[in-house]
Structure 1
């Protein structure tokens, strides 16, 4: 395997999917002996800067992705990377413009992380329409175009007639993950107290469906001694807390806030619930399965059905249906998914499999 000089890029660093996925990929590549630089546009307020762990982490202090073009062009010239990994369509377009300006010879892999229907538009002169025109012009410079789910690949082929997108999953965890090492016998190791422990995680925003989950809990607690912890912060915190109080669930539901290591919380829970209305591919769902949680998820576009393989490895429920969500949660108590089956389900997200796929697409001798 040839040692590569690798540059990874993301917009803002926060405790959420895309920036954490890029950090995880960067750390894995650095551990494998590559020279790695990880660049973020900004560090979100109130968030601690991540630890390098053998890689160089840079913040450009650019709040808008569009303002990153010239700094990236200069970085391409000064750093002279062999490979560039970029994540997010807005950033991808700026990265490809910077690549043209700098005339870099680096191989560039651009990953799309959300459904294109939320990014692009057919309304002439709208922001989404303008971005689509830009991407059509610069897309040929990308050596590899990826999506994080198979369903998203089909969506991009509908948006761009000449789409070359293929599916490559994010690295979600590996044998070195603390939750895996500590979870030798998940159920017997939990301090049970006859309480079913439910966990959920994500930004406290409307599209995450946490209001439906809280409503579902008002049904669950009638039939089972259960407790829900929701990890994350967002604009809906006050509204969600009011809903919890109004339903008399203050002893059964807790808005815990942001945490550095969600796997540590997942590994002490029985059931993980994803209540989203839409996703790209929910890393958090795979992380929970890695940690041994039985998954219950809305059948939202895109990702959950793909990850759970049509319900073989978890419970899929309809959108906007708290009663169905409650039924799925109760079913997870009665018939949990075995840890062996959960580990089989997430093989495509393991380090070796993901890096092998990247290397094949980039045409390099391993990563």
Structure 2
């Protein structure tokens, strides 16, 4: 089949990386796959895997992708289109109607609808809500990346068709990247436990709470924390590291191309977020053997950790509780076989099979 995987913007965030991973999984099944990217953030370089075609349109606004999508659907006639994020999902469905394409359309929602839609009359989010409601009937499948998010859509829309299908996290490419070499003195010294976290250095990731938790814990035991990622809060977090007196045991590593090789050499992964969609990075860390500690934020961590079966949950914005959970994770790590069990819902073949089942496509 000819399949298009569409994403609005490429930066080093979960959605576009997940779309590329999804596209590569489709290609491994023998399909002809094109990834369409609306815009590439100039600060980042778009990866170019050999097994898929990637086309960049240079359009920073999602709405400006409408006419190019209509043209693409009319001329290239894909059999299936997978889009991600609500603004783009709606634009893709409008393009499908205008072009009269026979392609099956699947749209995936990745963030809470409470941040996407509004009941305030004539605002952009109010207009989007009503457009989305009108366009839903054209979709062959609408999915969310967590069960909690499906429940949220039921509170926003009456009888929405959304169902949960997770992102692919566990695939052959990721497994291979876990074993890549990494040079860092902390990771070579196994005498001190390594805590690791990763994500954009932005307020909603809660890294300030994590640094404070490490400051509390470092009074009673030797630990080291590595935070992978970059973002607008970097200087503020650096100042907090100094203010808490933990410069010798906390490092803001910055952007790394392959975080999996760091995860596979760490002891505990900490997700300190205030909110999430479905935290792929949490599943990646578990796949790499890290015992997880995660805030019980909306949405995803409680679902991924199955109410604490596969890791330790703590309240949001509670550094003391986080410190206690990290200590327990170090003393009582989750067994490897239980972590492997936790990752099975995110396996490549399972996710592709579910998407094809929803679209009525042959497996």
Q: Same fold (TM over 0.5)?
A: yes
Q: Comparing 293-302 with 241-250, which one deviates more in the overlay?
A: 241-250
Aligned with residue 171 of structure 1, among 168, 176, 190: 168
2:92 corresponds to 1:95 = yes
Shift of residue 260, structure 1, vs aligned partner: 1.3
2:151 corresponds to 1:154 = yes
**For the residues of structure 2 that align with 1:31 and 1:195, how far apart are their CA atoms?**
41
Structure 2 gap segments, 5+ residues each: 181-186
2:1 corresponds to 1:13 = no
Q: Which residue of 1 aligns with 2:341?
A: 344
Structure 1 gap segments, 5+ residues each: 184-189
Aligned with residue 136 of structure 1, among 124, 130, 133: 133
* Secondary structure of 2:317's aligned partner: coil
Aligned residues of 1:10 and 1:22 also touching (Cα < 8 A): yes
| Deviation string, structure 1 residues 256-286 (Cα, Å, up to 9, x no partner) | 1111111111111111000001111000000
Distance change in 2, residues 1:193/1:288 (3 Å): closer
Aligned with residue 296 of structure 2, among 294, 299, 316: 299
| Deviation string, structure 1 residues 232-267 (Cα, Å, up to 9, x no partner) | 111111111111111111111111111111111111
2:275 corresponds to 1:278 = yes
Q: Which residue of 2 aligns with 1:328?
A: 325
How many pairs does the alignment contain? 357
Q: Which residue of 2 aligns with 1:201?
A: 198
TM-score, with normalisation over the residues of structure 2?
0.96
Q: Which residue of 2 aligns with 1:220?
A: 217
* Secondary structure of 1:99's aligned partner: helix
2:71 corresponds to 1:66 = no
| Deviation string, structure 1 residues 138-171 (Cα, Å, up to 9, x no partner) | 1111100000000111110111103000000000
Aligned residues of 2:209 and 2:318 also touching (Cα < 8 A): yes
2:80 corresponds to 1:119 = no
Aligned residues of 1:178 and 1:264 also touching (Cα < 8 A): no
Aligned residues of 1:179 and 1:264 also touching (Cα < 8 A): no
* Secondary structure of 2:307's aligned partner: coil
Aligned residues of 1:272 and 1:288 also touching (Cα < 8 A): yes
Shift of residue 136, structure 1, vs aligned partner: 1.0
Shift of residue 53, structure 1, vs aligned partner: 2.4
| Deviation string, structure 1 residues 270-324 (Cα, Å, up to 9, x no partner) | 1100000111100000011011110000000110000000000000000110000
The runs of at least 4 aligned residues of structure 1 exceeding 4 Å deviation read none
Aligned residues of 2:110 and 2:278 also touching (Cα < 8 A): yes
TM-score, with normalisation over the residues of structure 1?
0.95
Shift of residue 51, structure 1, vs aligned partner: 1.6
* Secondary structure of 1:305's aligned partner: helix
Shift of residue 220, structure 1, vs aligned partner: 1.5
Q: Which residue of 2 aligns with 1:318?
A: 315
* Secondary structure of 1:310's aligned partner: helix
* Secondary structure of 2:197's aligned partner: strand
* Secondary structure of 1:161's aligned partner: coil
Q: Which residue of 2 aligns with 1:32?
A: 29
Q: Which residue of 2 aligns with 1:364?
A: 361
* Secondary structure of 1:235's aligned partner: coil
**For the residues of structure 2 that align with 1:279 and 1:216, how far apart are their CA atoms?**
20
Aligned residues of 1:179 and 1:267 also touching (Cα < 8 A): no
**For the residues of structure 2 that align with 1:335 and 1:175, how far apart are their CA atoms?**
29
2:108 corresponds to 1:105 = no
Q: Which residue of 1 aligns with 2:247?
A: 250
Shift of residue 179, structure 1, vs aligned partner: 5.4
**For the residues of structure 1 that align with 2:246 and 2:227, how far apart are their CA atoms?**
13
CA RMSD of aligned residues (A): 1.3
Q: Which residue of 2 aligns with 1:230?
A: 227
Distance change in 2, residues 1:360/1:193 (3 Å): closer
**For the residues of structure 1 that align with 2:151 and 2:40, how far apart are their CA atoms?**
33
